Amino acid sequence: MKKYGSSWLGMALAFAALVGLSGAAWAAEAPILKSLSGAEKARVAKLIAGAKKEGSFSWATNLAPVKAAKALEKDFKKYYGLPGVKFRFAMRKSGTLIKRFEQEIKANKLSVDVVVLAAASWLHSMIKRGNLMKYTSPEDKFFVPAAKAKMNAPGYWVADGQLNTMAVNRDLAGNVKLTSWFDLTNPKYAGKVLVGDSSRSETYTLWYMGLRRVLPKSYFVKLNAQNSGIMIRGSAQRRSLMAGEYWFGTTIMARHNWIAKKAGVNMSPIYPKEGTVALPIGAVIMAKAKHPNMAKLFVDYWRSVRGHHKMLEYNPLNSGRPLPPHKNPDINKFILADDGIAPPLDRINIIPIDWGKVGHDDVKKWRAEFNDVFSSAPRKN
Amino acid sequence: MSTESDETQSSLKTGAAAAQAAVAPAPFLGRMFNAENLTKVGSLILLTVLAIVPITVYLQSSFRVHVEGSQLGLTLANYVQTFTEPKILRAIWNTLVIAVGTAFFSSIVGVALAWFHARTDMPWRGALEPLTLIPFFLSSFLGAIAWWALAAPRIGILNRWMIDLFGVSTPPFNIYSMTGIIMVMALFYVPYMYLFTIGSLNRMDPALEESARVCGTGVLRTALRVTIPLSTPAILSGAIIIFVVSAGVFGVPTLLGPIARIDTLSTVIYVKMEEYPLDLGGAAAAGSVLMLIAVIGLYVQRKIVAPRSYVTVTGKGFRPNRVMLGNWKYAALALNLAYIIMAVVLPLGALFLASINRAWLGGFRWSQLSFYNWDFILFSYDYAMDAMKNSLMLGFVGGFMTVVLCTFLSMVILRGRNKKLSSVVDYVATLPIGVPGLVMGMAFLITWIKTPLYSFPLFLLMLAYMTRYLPYGLRTITAILQSLGAELEESSRVCGESFIGTIRKVTVPLLRPGIFAAYLMLFIMFIRELPVSALLATEDSTPMAVALYVISENEALGVVSAFALVQAFILLVGTILFRRLGNIEKLSV
């Protein structure tokens, strides 16, 4: 009897200690509050108190891989003193997420608080229909490069950039100097250039539309005549460039250069002097978000230097704000450098596009032109 | 023995006829509200909830133009566009060419292999059957990736070998072509045809073939004139399903089509479904062409199959004899081995080589040898492990529920006197096959988001899978049931056994091979399903196919290959388990 009695006592004490410790973790001042003062400290403290009551949070993106999302979650919880909040996360294609959320909004069953997407036309449509919450984060004022490129929607989002730009497999092409889009029309590169298929992808249509502001149609006619390949998925383009099927990509996202680099293939981006198209990536709060306090805190974190630096450890992102050096020198060298995988937008010549004015008719128009230019298949492979 | 059996059967039949004659004509209401009609109407109600509601949502979308967040009034504009826009018309033509080519080649190879395994003395049959089915464990999209690594003009392993070994000046294989697309798809659909036909071939009374042989007919002629025609329901079912499904396949033309500028209906639908504002109307109208193809296919099948009898399993006992091929058995073996090399060894070999290279540089490199990809998938990536658990649950439980439903519906369709109502049930249950996955997922989402079921994503996924793959299970089981003579069940009833007792003691045991083949097929399909899952699955209910998509976006080819091989291994183990569970020597015997 005595033996069992002491076991029960021990278990009760351990349980009490556990409850006490977790309570202490919730009650202790969040690290972020130590760096704040005055009204801003009170604002964040109020949001944290609200977030504790909400207890959970849901976000979705087409950008961050699961590992990055988990790392962001862990760091966020630690920094904001919210260890007990339950996170839900989904990574899908932007089209899939949009379809789902549109139906959820119609049925009044929204399951997500924050969406991080490179889908400007949908995000602007969401503003028009009153489906996004107005929120200005203290971090927003730093996104000047994105504002210059007309990528922000003040009050709703400030943008980072999804760059679909030129990339080269240097293991095959060597140290060739490429500074202009026109360099790819050099006859010696015939059959070695890969183009994103704008006839089947809105992202690449917008890329085509953007580049046509600085390049003539004849440029693309020449690219097609030079036996350029076209492919739809970014992952297929990455595989093709890594395997050496093509040497030069024209619509390669930073993530794909990063994946190639991790696997030991020297694939690097080029930012041509004529300019690069950057699709705005907006982290937005849904108007009917069930966890608005958590959503605001997470958006603050996403837009902060800390959030950007954490993301860069797992996934490259062209920051819409200038960034100080990262504590990891490799990230500074391979990602943030001027010729790195994802330098902030202030170091790149971005083609300004007023994304609020780009509609479906533009997509149709430019897709029709792309189809016209690239309708004939290459003669040889 | 056989005389006694014939006499017993004859007296049973006479008894049954006498019992029927003794029944007085029932009044009209009595005839309408009998147990059979009520069962069929009940089935129709169930199918309406599962399939008709989403399909109606889908079809009504095709008559609407969708703008930002809403839809306009009724219109035929989507259909006008579908049947007048040159790009879409070209896509329809390409789709038909690919679907016909895939169905034709996979049917020829699939039926031949099924015949070798079921009816002949080809050596190594037991060992070769699981290998023959392995392509079924991979999605055709992964097959396309593997064949890209093998036969892409510049970097394909086979092309490089051919150039190095024979000094040919241009690469002999070009996977970026109509031929390449059809070849990849046909290779991966052969197991479908195999599974559709092997059950029926296994159940066939060899006396029919022996009679032909006694009359001096050769082996090949007997197969072509007796065996294959008696399996017409199964072969037609398989061919039509492969035709319809390959018309809706998206992954292969997406990967291999653009370089050669080959558009298909599925890529047209993809474009309409992926941009904003979503052109659901245009996608549904383009998808309706696929549904029309399915309906026509089913109609043709019924017209050819219905007027004739394909009963090959009767009350007579028989010993399962095999056709002796003589030296031709080695030719059969060679064909089977050639198929396994093309559809298993080469693509899985390419994926395996990619999985043990840190980066795929267009061929295996010793300098790239690494087990990072396997370590990552098996030990570092919780997401993949959770997805495997979800998929196994969906495959086992969902597959079981679907196969029970399919068995029930098969009996409703093929047994009983009200043939018109049976036809309606058959058509309705088969319609989902004509709806492309991308559009079907959307139709499910629109339909079920308004119900409390939306809070149970795993259950929702199961319902969606059941609806989408109902026709596959149904075709497999009805093909077997069609070959079972109703006299066995009638005899049981005349002898006093109840309806349920007859199903339990006579029908189900005879159907067991078909039921297990259907269960296995559904299990595999559930685990591979992507378009519906991508839309309906949440983080907690993510299945393997979605995880594979996420991995393919974020990791190099080696990781994708390792995960694909793990998936194939799980499905292989699943197949072995099914054989044990079914206590059957071979998959469909």
Kindly report, residue by residue over A351-366, the tens digit of the pLDDT.
999 998 998 889 989 9
- For residue B453, the Cα-to-chain-centroid distance in whole angstroms is 27
Q: Is residue B14 situated within a structural domain?
A: no
Residue with more model confidence, B423 or B134: B134
- Of A72, A73, A97, A70, the C-alpha closest to A85 is A73
- Of B532, B493, B557, the C-alpha closest to B273 is B532
510-549 of B, contacting A, C-beta below 8 A: 534-535, 538-540, 546
Cβ of B276 within 8 Å of Cβ of A128? The answer is no
Q: How confident is the model at residue B532 (pLDDT cuts 50, 70, 90)?
A: confident
What's residue B476's pLDDT?
78
Whether B365 has its CB under 8 Å from any CB of chain A: the answer is no
What's residue B140's pLDDT?
81
Secondary structure (DSSP) of A216-228 = -HHHHHHHHHTT-
Q: How many helices (H) and strands (E) does chain A have?
A: 16, 10
Say if residue A290 is in the same domain as residue A237: no
Distance from the Cα of B419 to chain A's closest Cα (Å) equals: 40
In the predicted structure, residue B178 carries a pLDDT above the cut 50: yes
Q: Is residue A368 situated within a structural domain?
A: yes
How far is residue A116's CA from residue B137's CA, in Å, rounded to a whole number?
Answer: 35
Q: How confident is the model at residue B585 (pLDDT cuts 50, 70, 90)?
A: very low
Say if residue A119 is in the same domain as residue A40: yes
Crossing angle for the helix pair B437-448 and A94-106, nearest 10 degrees? 30
Burial group, residue B53, by CB count within 10 angstroms (0-12, 13-18, 19+): middle
Partners of residue A105 in chain B, C-beta under 8 Å: 69
Residue of B nearest to A106 (CA): B69
Interface residue of B456, B553, B559 to substitute, partner A, most A CBs within 10 Å: B553
Whether B163 has its CB under 8 Å from any CB of chain A: the answer is no
Interface residue of B68, B256, B364, B548 to substitute, partner A, most A CBs within 10 Å: B68
Cβ of A263 within 8 Å of Cβ of B68? The answer is no
Q: Is residue A148 situated within a structural domain?
A: yes
Contact assessment for residue A95 and residue B275, using Cβ atoms and an 8 Å cutoff = yes
Say if residue A48 is in the same domain as residue A155: yes
Residues 6 or more apart whose CB falls under 8 angstroms from that of B350 comprise: B146, B147, B149, B150, B157
Say if residue A299 is in the same domain as residue A256: no
What's residue B539's pLDDT?
76
When CB atoms are compared, the residue of B145, B274, B368 closest to A202 is B274
What's residue B32's pLDDT?
60
**Summary mean pLDDT of chain B:** 82
Whether B273 has its CB under 8 Å from any CB of chain A: the answer is yes
Cβ of A233 within 8 Å of Cβ of B255? The answer is yes
Burial group, residue B3, by CB count within 10 angstroms (0-12, 13-18, 19+): exposed
Say if residue A95 is in the same domain as residue A149: yes
Interface residue of A67, A172, A239, A242 to substitute, partner B, most B CBs within 10 Å: A239
Residue with more model confidence, A130 or B488: A130
In the predicted structure, residue B416 carries a pLDDT above the cut 70: no
Cβ of B261 within 8 Å of Cβ of A375? The answer is yes
Contact assessment for residue A283 and residue A119, using Cβ atoms and an 8 Å cutoff = no
Say if residue A150 is in the same domain as residue A241: no
Distance from the Cα of B342 to chain A's closest Cα (Å) equals: 22
Distance from the Cα of A216 to chain B's closest Cα (Å) equals: 23
Number of Cβ atoms within 10 Å of the Cβ of A233: 19
For chain B, report the end-to-end CA distance as a whole number of angstroms. Answer: 25
Q: Is residue A16 situated within a structural domain?
A: no
When CB atoms are compared, the residue of B152, B258, B446 closest to A197 is B258
Residue with more model confidence, A15 or A100: A100
Q: What is the CATH number of the domain that holds B473?
A: 1.10.3720.10
Say if residue A61 is in the same domain as residue A124: yes
In the predicted structure, residue B308 carries a pLDDT above the cut 60: no
Crossing angle for the helix pair B53-61 and B437-448, nearest 10 degrees? 110
The residue written with tokens 């056709």 in the block is B323
Whether B90 has its CB under 8 Å from any CB of chain A: the answer is no
When CB atoms are compared, the residue of B155, B449, B546 closest to A109 is B449
Q: How do residues A197-213 score in pLDDT, each as one tens digit?
A: 998 888 999 999 999 99
Q: How do residues B186-205 score in pLDDT, each as one tens digit?
A: 999 999 899 888 877 877 77
How far is residue B119's CA from residue B225's CA, in Å, rounded to a whole number?
Answer: 14
Cβ of A66 within 8 Å of Cβ of B383? The answer is yes
User: Among the listed ranges A236-250, A298-312, B524-538, which one has the minimum average pLDDT value?
Assistant: B524-538
Interface residue of B274, B386, B438, B440 to substitute, partner A, most A CBs within 10 Å: B274
Q: Is residue B11 situated within a structural domain?
A: no
Q: Is residue B10 situated within a structural domain?
A: no
What's residue A3's pLDDT?
47
Say if residue A71 is in the same domain as residue A132: yes
Cβ of A202 within 8 Å of Cβ of B360? The answer is no
Whether B422 has its CB under 8 Å from any CB of chain A: the answer is no
Instruction: Show the domain range for A288.
Output: 30-162+279-336
Say if residue A322 is in the same domain as residue A222: no
Contact assessment for residue B273 and residue A99, using Cβ atoms and an 8 Å cutoff = yes
Averaged pLDDT for residues A220-233: 92
Q: What's the whole-model pTM score?
A: 0.82
Whether B464 has its CB under 8 Å from any CB of chain A: the answer is no
Contact assessment for residue A149 and residue A352, using Cβ atoms and an 8 Å cutoff = yes
Cβ of B535 within 8 Å of Cβ of A100? The answer is yes
What's residue B35's pLDDT?
65
Say if residue A202 is in the same domain as residue A183: yes
Cβ of B276 within 8 Å of Cβ of A98? The answer is yes
How far is residue B61's CA from residue B80's CA, in Å, rounded to a whole number?
Answer: 14
Instruction: Show the domain range for B39.
Output: 29-68+77-581
Interface pTM (ipTM) of the complex?
A: 0.80
Say if residue A153 is in the same domain as residue A284: yes
What's residue B315's pLDDT?
52
Total domains in the fold of chain A: 2
Secondary structure (DSSP) of A1-54 = -HHHHHHHHHHHHHHHHHHHHHHHHHHSPPHHHHT--HHHHHHHHHHHHHHHHH
Partners of residue A248 in chain B, C-beta under 8 Å: none
Residue with more model confidence, A26 or A226: A226
User: Among the listed ranges A253-262, B5-14, B20-29, B130-139, which one has the minimum average pLDDT value?
Assistant: B5-14
Averaged pLDDT for residues A3-10: 56
When CB atoms are compared, the residue of B148, B538, B553 closest to A90 is B538
Q: Is residue B12 situated within a structural domain?
A: no
Helix H, strand E, coil C: the string for B232-263 is HHHHHHHHHHHHHHHHHCCHHHHHHCHHHCCC
Whether B554 has its CB under 8 Å from any CB of chain A: the answer is yes
Crossing angle for the helix pair B86-119 and B280-305, nearest 10 degrees? 40
What's residue B417's pLDDT?
66
In the predicted structure, residue B581 carries a pLDDT above the cut 90: no
Cβ of A91 within 8 Å of Cβ of B550? The answer is yes
Cβ of A95 within 8 Å of Cβ of B276? The answer is yes
Distance from the Cα of B445 to chain A's closest Cα (Å) equals: 7
Contact assessment for residue B415 and residue B489, using Cβ atoms and an 8 Å cutoff = yes
Q: Is residue A78 situated within a structural domain?
A: yes
What's residue B409's pLDDT?
86
CA distances in angstroms from B553 to B425, B549, B575, listed in the order given: 41, 6, 29
- Of A354, A95, A103, the C-alpha closest to B276 is A95
The residue written with tokens 């008696």 in the block is B230
How far is residue A310's CA from residue A308's CA, in Å, rounded to a whole number?
Answer: 5
Number of Cβ atoms within 10 Å of the Cβ of B173: 18
How far is residue A111's CA from residue A104's CA, in Å, rounded to a whole number?
Answer: 7
Q: Is residue B487 situated within a structural domain?
A: yes
22-61 of B, contacting A, C-beta below 8 A: none
Length of chain A: 381
Report CA torsion sign: B279, B280, B282, B286: positive
Q: Is residue B588 situated within a structural domain?
A: no
Residues linked to residue A63 through DSSP beta bridges, in sequence order: none
Averaged pLDDT for residues A76-86: 95
Q: Is residue A379 situated within a structural domain?
A: no
Q: What is the CATH number of the domain that holds A190?
A: 3.40.190.10
User: Among the listed ranges A12-26, A137-151, A310-324, which one has the minimum average pLDDT value?
Assistant: A12-26
Q: Is residue A230 situated within a structural domain?
A: yes
When CB atoms are compared, the residue of B153, B539, B554 closest to A88 is B539
Total domains in the fold of chain B: 1
Q: Is residue A381 situated within a structural domain?
A: no
Say if residue A240 is in the same domain as residue A368: yes
Contact assessment for residue A178 and residue A336, using Cβ atoms and an 8 Å cutoff = no
- Of A78, A100, A125, the C-alpha closest to B274 is A100
Q: How do residues B9-38 score in pLDDT, each as one tens digit?
A: 444 444 444 444 444 455 555 666 666 677
In the predicted structure, residue B45 carries a pLDDT above the cut 60: yes
Residues above pLDDT 70, as percent of chain A: 91
- Of B479, B409, B481, the C-alpha closest to B40 is B409
In the predicted structure, residue B3 carries a pLDDT above the cut 90: no
Residues above pLDDT 70, as percent of chain B: 88
Partners of residue B174 in chain A, C-beta under 8 Å: 381
Q: Is residue B254 situated within a structural domain?
A: yes
Partners of residue B276 in chain A, C-beta under 8 Å: 95, 98, 119, 121-122, 125, 202, 360
Amino acid letter at B166? F
Whether B366 has its CB under 8 Å from any CB of chain A: the answer is no
Contact assessment for residue A110 and residue A282, using Cβ atoms and an 8 Å cutoff = no
Q: Is residue A126 situated within a structural domain?
A: yes
Q: How confident is the model at residue A7 (pLDDT cuts 50, 70, 90)?
A: low
CA distances in angstroms from B515 to A171, B58, B522, listed in the order given: 54, 31, 10
In the predicted structure, residue B350 carries a pLDDT above the cut 60: yes
- Of B188, B464, B194, B186, the C-alpha closest to B348 is B188
Cβ of B360 within 8 Å of Cβ of A245? The answer is no
Averaged pLDDT for residues B211-235: 77
The residue written with tokens 């109600």 in the block is B45
Q: Is residue B18 situated within a structural domain?
A: no
Partners of residue B368 in chain A, C-beta under 8 Å: 264
